[in-house]
Amino acid sequence: QKEVEQDPGPLSVPEGAIVSLNCTYSNSAFQYFMWYRQYSRKGPELLMYTYSSGNKEDGRFTAQVDKSSKYISLFIRDSQPSDSATYLCAMSLGYNKLIFGAGTRLAVHP
C-alpha cells in the first residue's frame, strides 16, 4: 500500500464548477499537509498548507484535513481555465521530507 493515494484523473470540469480533489494516507504520524499546483513542465508551487484537522480557506481554495479518516481534500470554487494543472498533495512527518501523492490532472474548460 502506498503511503499516499491520489486519483490521477484526469478530471474535466466546466468553468465555474466546484472542484474537489482528494488524497488518503496510511501513516497516522503525518503532521503537515500541503497542496501543490504543477503546470506542465514546471516545478510545483505551494498552494495551501495545513497542520491540524479542519478547514483552511484562501480565496477560492479551501483545504480540509480529517486526521481521523486519514483523508485530505482541496476544494476550488468558481474554477477557471487557468486552474488547469496537476494538483499534488504532500505530507510530512515534520522533518522536511515530503511524501507526494501521484497528482490529479485537472482540466477546466470554458
Partner 1 sequence: GAVVSQHPSRVICKSGTSVKIECRSLDFQATTMFWYRQFPKKSLMLMATSNEGSKATYEQGVEKDKFLINHASLTLSTLTVTSAHPEDSSFYICSAISGTGGLTEAFFGQGTRLTVV
Which residues in 21-34 are b (16+ Cβ under 10 Å) and which e? bbbbbeeeebebbb
The footprint of partner 1 on this chain (CB under 8 A) covers a number of residues equal to 24
CB 31 within 8 A of CB 51: yes
Site track 16-45 with partner 1 (rule: CB under 8 A), x = hit: ----------------x-x-x----xxxxx
Q: Please choose, from the candidates 23, 37, 8, the residue with its C-alpha nearest in 3D space to the C-alpha of residue 67.
A: 23
Site track 49-88 with partner 1 (rule: CB under 8 A), x = hit: x--------------------------------------x
**Binding of partner 1 by 8 (CB under 8 A):** yes
Please identify, using beta-carbon distances, which residue of 6 and 79 lies nearer to partner 1. Answer: 6
Rounded Cα–Cα distance for residues 84 and 40 (Å): 10
Please identify, using beta-carbon distances, which residue of 79 and 104 lies nearer to partner 1. Answer: 104
